[in-house]
Protein backbone atom coordinates (compact mmCIF):
# COMPACT_ATOMS: atom_id res chain seq x y z
CA UNK A 1 0.00 0.00 0.00
CA UNK A 2 1.04 3.57 -0.64
CA UNK A 3 -0.17 6.17 1.84
CA UNK A 4 0.06 9.85 0.96
CA UNK A 5 0.38 11.89 4.17
CA UNK A 6 -0.03 15.66 4.29
CA UNK A 7 2.35 17.48 6.62
CA UNK A 8 0.36 20.70 6.81
CA UNK A 9 1.56 24.26 6.48
CA UNK A 10 4.53 25.12 8.63
CA UNK A 11 6.49 22.48 10.56
CA UNK A 12 6.48 18.80 11.41
CA UNK A 13 4.12 19.31 14.35
CA UNK A 14 1.33 20.20 11.91
CA UNK A 15 0.92 16.54 10.92
CA UNK A 16 -2.30 14.83 12.03
CA UNK A 17 -2.31 12.03 14.61
CA UNK A 18 -3.54 9.68 11.90
CA UNK A 19 -0.64 10.73 9.67
CA UNK A 20 1.87 10.32 12.50
CA UNK A 21 0.65 6.80 13.20
CA UNK A 22 0.88 5.88 9.52
CA UNK A 23 4.53 6.95 9.46
CA UNK A 24 5.35 4.97 12.60
CA UNK A 25 3.73 1.83 11.18
CA UNK A 26 5.14 2.04 7.63
CA UNK A 27 7.87 -0.19 6.22
CA UNK A 28 9.40 2.70 4.24
CA UNK A 29 8.97 6.45 4.54
CA UNK A 30 9.66 8.97 1.81
CA UNK A 31 9.35 12.76 1.75
CA UNK A 32 9.35 15.23 -1.11
CA UNK A 33 10.25 18.92 -1.04
CA UNK A 34 9.79 19.51 -4.75
CA UNK A 35 6.16 20.69 -4.76
CA UNK A 36 6.40 22.57 -1.45
CA UNK A 37 8.36 22.78 1.79
CA UNK A 38 7.98 23.06 5.54
CA UNK A 39 10.34 24.79 7.94
CA UNK A 40 11.53 21.60 9.64
CA UNK A 41 14.83 20.12 8.42
CA UNK A 42 15.23 16.48 7.42
CA UNK A 43 17.14 15.82 10.65
CA UNK A 44 14.30 17.31 12.69
CA UNK A 45 11.76 15.23 10.78
CA UNK A 46 13.69 12.00 11.31
CA UNK A 47 14.15 12.76 14.99
CA UNK A 48 10.43 13.52 15.36
CA UNK A 49 9.44 10.15 13.89
CA UNK A 50 12.42 8.20 15.21
CA UNK A 51 13.17 6.64 11.84
CA UNK A 52 14.93 7.14 8.54
CA UNK A 53 13.15 9.22 5.90
CA UNK A 54 14.33 9.22 2.29
CA UNK A 55 14.04 12.44 0.26
CA UNK A 56 12.46 12.01 -3.17
CA UNK A 57 13.80 14.06 -6.05
CA UNK A 58 11.73 15.32 -8.97
CA UNK A 59 12.71 12.33 -11.11
CA UNK A 60 11.53 9.95 -8.38
CA UNK A 61 8.08 11.56 -8.54
CA UNK A 62 7.87 11.67 -12.31
CA UNK A 63 9.73 9.39 -14.73
CA UNK A 64 10.89 6.99 -12.00
CA UNK A 65 7.68 6.90 -9.98
CA UNK A 66 7.23 3.26 -10.98
CA UNK A 67 9.88 2.36 -8.40
CA UNK A 68 7.73 3.72 -5.58
CA UNK A 69 4.70 1.92 -7.00
CA UNK A 70 6.62 -1.36 -7.17
CA UNK A 71 7.69 -0.92 -3.55
CA UNK A 72 4.03 -0.43 -2.61
CA UNK A 73 3.17 -3.87 -3.99
CA UNK A 74 5.13 -5.64 -1.27
CA UNK A 75 5.46 -3.12 1.56
CA UNK A 76 3.59 -0.34 3.32
CA UNK A 77 5.03 2.87 1.91
CA UNK A 78 4.36 6.41 3.13
CA UNK A 79 5.01 9.50 1.03
CA UNK A 80 5.13 12.67 3.14
CA UNK A 81 4.09 15.86 1.39
CA UNK A 82 4.02 19.45 2.69
CA UNK A 83 0.48 20.80 2.71
CA UNK A 84 -2.20 18.49 1.36
CA UNK A 85 -0.97 15.61 -0.85
CA UNK A 86 -3.42 15.78 -3.74
CA UNK A 87 -3.13 19.51 -4.41
CA UNK A 88 -0.07 18.63 -6.52
CA UNK A 89 -1.00 16.91 -9.79
CA UNK A 90 2.24 14.91 -9.54
CA UNK A 91 0.84 12.98 -6.59
CA UNK A 92 -2.50 12.43 -8.30
CA UNK A 93 -0.62 10.84 -11.20
CA UNK A 94 1.24 8.46 -8.88
CA UNK A 95 -1.99 7.50 -7.11
CA UNK A 96 -3.75 6.87 -10.42
CA UNK A 97 -0.94 4.73 -11.81
CA UNK A 98 -0.62 2.77 -8.57
CA UNK A 99 -4.33 1.91 -8.53
CA UNK A 100 -4.16 0.87 -12.18
CA UNK A 101 -1.34 -1.53 -11.27
CA UNK A 102 -3.30 -3.04 -8.44
CA UNK A 103 -1.53 -1.20 -5.61
CA UNK A 104 -3.89 0.10 -2.95
CA UNK A 105 -3.53 3.73 -1.92
CA UNK A 106 -4.96 5.98 0.74
CA UNK A 107 -4.75 9.68 1.56
CA UNK A 108 -4.32 11.30 4.96
CA UNK A 109 -5.00 14.95 4.32
CA UNK A 110 -3.15 17.92 5.78
CA UNK A 111 -3.85 21.63 5.98
CA UNK A 112 -3.45 23.33 2.60
CA UNK A 113 -2.42 26.85 1.66
CA UNK A 114 -5.45 26.87 -0.65
CA UNK A 115 -7.82 27.00 2.30
CA UNK A 116 -5.42 28.76 4.69
CA UNK A 117 -5.37 31.91 2.57
CA UNK A 118 -9.09 32.36 3.22
CA UNK A 119 -8.59 32.24 6.96
CA UNK A 120 -5.60 34.56 6.89
CA UNK A 121 -7.20 37.18 4.64
CA UNK A 122 -10.94 36.81 5.12
CA UNK A 123 -11.43 36.39 1.37
CA UNK A 124 -14.29 34.10 0.41
CA UNK A 125 -13.30 30.73 -1.01
CA UNK A 126 -15.98 30.78 -3.72
CA UNK A 127 -14.56 34.05 -5.10
CA UNK A 128 -11.35 32.42 -6.35
CA UNK A 129 -10.81 31.58 -10.01
CA UNK A 130 -8.04 29.65 -11.70
CA UNK A 131 -4.65 29.66 -9.97
CA UNK A 132 -1.18 29.90 -11.54
CA UNK A 133 2.51 29.80 -10.67
CA UNK A 134 4.95 32.69 -11.01
CA UNK A 135 8.21 31.02 -12.03
CA UNK A 136 11.76 32.28 -12.18
CA UNK A 137 11.58 31.50 -15.88
CA UNK A 138 9.52 34.44 -17.12
CA UNK A 139 6.17 33.38 -18.55
CA UNK A 140 3.03 35.28 -19.54
CA UNK A 141 0.81 32.57 -18.06
CA UNK A 142 0.25 34.12 -14.59
CA UNK A 143 -0.57 37.53 -16.12
CA UNK A 144 -3.00 35.92 -18.55
CA UNK A 145 -4.66 33.97 -15.72
CA UNK A 146 -5.03 37.17 -13.67
CA UNK A 147 -6.72 38.95 -16.59
CA UNK A 148 -9.07 36.01 -17.21
CA UNK A 149 -10.06 35.97 -13.55
CA UNK A 150 -10.58 39.73 -13.48
CA UNK A 151 -13.03 39.37 -16.37
CA UNK A 152 -15.18 37.06 -14.24
CA UNK A 153 -14.57 39.14 -11.10
CA UNK A 154 -12.56 36.42 -9.33
CA UNK A 155 -9.50 36.45 -7.08
CA UNK A 156 -6.29 34.81 -8.32
CA UNK A 157 -4.07 32.65 -6.12
CA UNK A 158 -0.47 32.72 -7.32
CA UNK A 159 1.96 30.06 -6.17
CA UNK A 160 5.59 31.20 -6.17
CA UNK A 161 8.43 29.15 -7.61
CA UNK A 162 10.65 27.20 -5.20
CA UNK A 163 13.51 26.30 -7.52
CA UNK A 164 16.36 27.03 -7.48
CA UNK A 165 15.35 29.14 -4.45
CA UNK A 166 11.99 30.13 -2.92
CA UNK A 167 10.58 33.21 -4.65
CA UNK A 168 9.40 36.12 -2.52
CA UNK A 169 6.32 38.27 -3.03
CA UNK A 170 8.55 41.16 -4.10
CA UNK A 171 10.21 39.07 -6.83
CA UNK A 172 6.86 37.82 -8.09
CA UNK A 173 5.41 41.33 -8.37
CA UNK A 174 8.48 42.59 -10.21
CA UNK A 175 8.07 39.78 -12.74
CA UNK A 176 4.36 40.45 -13.20
CA UNK A 177 4.94 44.16 -13.79
CA UNK A 178 7.64 43.42 -16.36
CA UNK A 179 5.18 41.18 -18.20
CA UNK A 180 2.30 43.66 -17.96
CA UNK A 181 2.92 47.14 -16.55
CA UNK A 182 -0.81 47.66 -16.08
CA UNK A 183 -0.80 45.17 -13.22
CA UNK A 184 1.05 47.57 -10.94
CA UNK A 185 -2.27 49.30 -10.19
CA UNK A 186 -4.24 46.19 -9.21
CA UNK A 187 -4.64 45.22 -5.57
CA UNK A 188 -2.94 42.19 -4.12
CA UNK A 189 -2.35 40.40 -0.84
CA UNK A 190 1.05 39.05 0.07
CA UNK A 191 1.33 36.27 2.65
CA UNK A 192 4.48 34.98 4.29
CA UNK A 193 5.01 31.92 6.51
CA UNK A 194 1.39 30.79 6.64
CA UNK A 195 0.76 28.52 9.59
CA UNK A 196 3.56 29.96 11.72
CA UNK A 197 3.46 32.33 14.66
CA UNK A 198 5.28 34.91 12.52
CA UNK A 199 2.90 34.97 9.55
CA UNK A 200 2.68 38.29 7.68
CA UNK A 201 -0.38 39.35 5.65
CA UNK A 202 -0.41 42.68 3.80
CA UNK A 203 -2.75 44.15 1.21
CA UNK A 204 -2.12 47.06 -1.17
CA UNK A 205 -1.66 47.95 -4.82
CA UNK A 206 1.10 45.83 -6.35
CA UNK A 207 3.29 48.88 -6.96
CA UNK A 208 3.35 49.50 -3.19
CA UNK A 209 3.19 45.89 -2.07
CA UNK A 210 6.46 45.11 -3.86
CA UNK A 211 8.36 47.38 -1.48
CA UNK A 212 7.14 45.69 1.71
CA UNK A 213 9.56 43.42 3.55
CA UNK A 214 7.71 40.16 4.12
CA UNK A 215 10.70 38.44 5.68
CA UNK A 216 11.70 34.84 5.08
CA UNK A 217 9.76 32.52 2.71
CA UNK A 218 7.58 30.66 2.04
CA UNK A 219 5.47 33.37 0.36
CA UNK A 220 2.28 33.36 -1.68
CA UNK A 221 0.46 36.12 -3.57
CA UNK A 222 -3.21 36.84 -4.20
CA UNK A 223 -4.52 39.25 -6.84
CA UNK A 224 -7.89 40.64 -5.82
CA UNK A 225 -10.99 40.56 -7.99
CA UNK A 226 -12.51 43.75 -9.42
CA UNK A 227 -15.02 43.88 -6.58
CA UNK A 228 -15.13 42.85 -2.92
CA UNK A 229 -17.86 41.71 -0.60
CA UNK A 230 -18.09 44.17 2.30
CA UNK A 231 -16.93 41.45 4.73
CA UNK A 232 -13.87 40.77 2.57
CA UNK A 233 -13.02 44.45 2.74
CA UNK A 234 -13.47 44.62 6.51
CA UNK A 235 -11.30 41.53 7.00
CA UNK A 236 -8.55 42.86 4.75
CA UNK A 237 -8.54 46.11 6.70
CA UNK A 238 -8.26 44.23 9.98
CA UNK A 239 -6.05 41.29 9.01
CA UNK A 240 -3.91 42.71 6.19
CA UNK A 241 -3.59 46.44 6.90
CA UNK A 242 -5.37 47.21 3.62
CA UNK A 243 -5.64 50.89 2.65
CA UNK A 244 -9.02 52.57 3.18
CA UNK A 245 -9.16 53.35 -0.54
CA UNK A 246 -9.83 49.64 -1.13
CA UNK A 247 -13.42 50.39 -0.10
CA UNK A 248 -14.11 51.60 -3.62
CA UNK A 249 -14.13 47.93 -4.68
CA UNK A 250 -16.98 47.04 -2.33
CA UNK A 251 -20.31 46.34 -4.03
User: Which CATH class, in words, describes the domain spanning 2-108?
Assistant: alpha beta
- Say what the pLDDT of residue 37 is: 94
Alpha helices in the chain (DSSP H): 17-25, 42-49, 58-61, 65-74, 89-100, 113-121, 141-151, 169-179, 206-209, 230-239
Rg (CA), the chain: 19
**Which of the listed CATH numbers 3.90.170.10, 1.20.120.720, 3.30.950.10, 3.90.380.10 matches domain 113-249?**
3.30.950.10
Backbone phi, psi, residue 160, to 5°: -110, 135
Closest CA to 205 of 176, 230, 232, 238: 176
Domain ranges of the chain: 2-108, 113-249
Per-residue pLDDT of the chain (251 residues; tens, 9 = 90+): 999 999 999 999 999 999 999 999 999 999 999 989 999 999 999 999 999 999 999 999 899 999 999 999 999 999 999 999 999 888 999 999 999 999 999 999 999 999 999 999 999 999 999 999 999 999 999 999 999 999 999 999 999 999 999 999 999 999 999 999 999 999 999 999 999 999 999 999 999 999 999 999 999 999 999 999 999 999 999 999 999 999 999 99
Longest dimension (CA), the chain: 61
pLDDT at 88: 82
Q: Would you state the pLDDT for residue 181?
A: 96
What integer pLDDT is reported at residue 194 of this predicted model? 98
Please give the Cα distance from 47 to 25 (Å, whole number): 16
Give the Å distances, CA to CA, from 165 to 130, 134, 161, 186: 24, 13, 8, 26
Report how far residue 239's alpha carbon sits from residue 236's, in angstroms, rounded to the nearest whole number. 5
Q: Say what the pLDDT of residue 89 is.
A: 85
Q: Would the CATH topology of 2-108 be identical to that of 113-249?
A: no
Amino acid sequence: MITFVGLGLWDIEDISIKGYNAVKEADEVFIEFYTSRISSSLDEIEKFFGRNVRVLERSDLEENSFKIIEAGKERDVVILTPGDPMVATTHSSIKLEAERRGVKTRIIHGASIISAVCGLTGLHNYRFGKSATVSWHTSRTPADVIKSNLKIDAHTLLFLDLHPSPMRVNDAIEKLIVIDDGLRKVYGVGIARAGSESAVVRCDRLERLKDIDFGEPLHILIILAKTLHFMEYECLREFASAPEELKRLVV
